[in-house]
Structure 1
Amino acid sequence: MKNLPFACVAGALVAMLTACGSSFPPPTDRLASAEAASRSARELGADREPRAALHLKLAQEQIDQAKTLMQDGDNKRADLVLQRANSDAELSVMLAKENTAKAEADKAQERVKALKAGK
């Protein structure tokens, strides 16, 4: 009988921890951010650059996985997956921008060569 209060306290503690663990809010802001970054990457032409396209594909797969996790109520894991998705989408944006900047630099060098050859 001496252990009864301890058992009650332990049981209450387990119940509280379980309740707190399952009440992680849906990561809707992170989902919106990852989707926006993916959209930006597509608009910047990430589909045309292999490295950017790979990271864009990974981001989309992770977004889809996170949506499934959210439907299943696993919001904490969905949040972690969306963090990865956002990182991959942002990397895709940066790679697409790098590709565009490189193409513009190459065109500028060609114009300079053409001007020098015309002298």
Structure 2
Amino acid sequence: MACGGGFPPPSDRLATAEAGARSARELGADKEPKAALHLRLAQEQIDQAKKLMSDGDNKRADLVLQRAGSDAELSVMLAKEHNANAEAQKAKERVNAIKSGK
């Protein structure tokens, strides 16, 4: 018998975790190793939670989705940091090119 029988399906938390993972992918999380790791963890947890929900174990699914949401959010932040660093490097290169008269 599955535990969490009276616990409602964590549909909102699932949608939030999936949206976070989608955002991370759109930001290019796969191009930065740490972001890619957390994105993979989030996706694995989302898949696990869906199985738990289909088995009626909504309480455990909710807990797994909390972790998935955190991993997805971290992946987004790491991807944003990677993108910002890349833009900063490009700006430095432009400044150096201007200074050297190129």
Kindly name which structure, 1 or 2, has the bigger radius of gyration based on alpha carbons: 1
Q: Which runs of 5+ in 2 are unaligned?
A: none
Query: Match of 2:33?
Result: 50
Once residues 57 and 74 of structure 1 are traced to their aligned partners in structure 2, the CA distance between those partners, rounded to angstroms, is: 23
1:95 shift after superposition: 0.4
The sequence identity of aligned pairs, in percent, is 80
Using structure 2 for the length normalisation, give the TM-score: 0.94
| Cα separation, 2, equivalents of 1:22 and 1:59 | 25
Residues 66-77 of structure 1: pairs in structure 2 closer than 5 A: 66-77=49-60
CA distance in 1, matches of 2:53, 2:5: 12
Higher relative contact order (CA 8 A, sep 6+): 2
Equivalent-residue separation in structure 2 for 1:47 and 1:29 (angstroms): 25
Q: CA deviation at 1:78?
A: 0.3
Once residues 62 and 110 of structure 1 are traced to their aligned partners in structure 2, the CA distance between those partners, rounded to angstroms, is 40
Residue 48 of structure 1 and its aligned partner are, at CA, apart by 1.1
User: Can you give the 5+ residue segments of structure 1 that lack an aligned partner in the other structure?
Assistant: 1-20
Residue 81 of structure 2 aligns to which amino acid in structure 1?
A: E
**Structure with greater helix percent:** 1
2:40 is aligned with 1:93:
no
Equivalent positions of 1:1-119 (< 5 A) are 21-118=4-101
Aligned residues: 99
What is the CA distance between 1:72 and its match in structure 2?
0.8
Question: Normalising to structure 1: TM-score of the pair?
Answer: 0.81
Considering only aligned residues, what root-mean-square deviation do their CA atoms show, in Å? Answer: 1.1
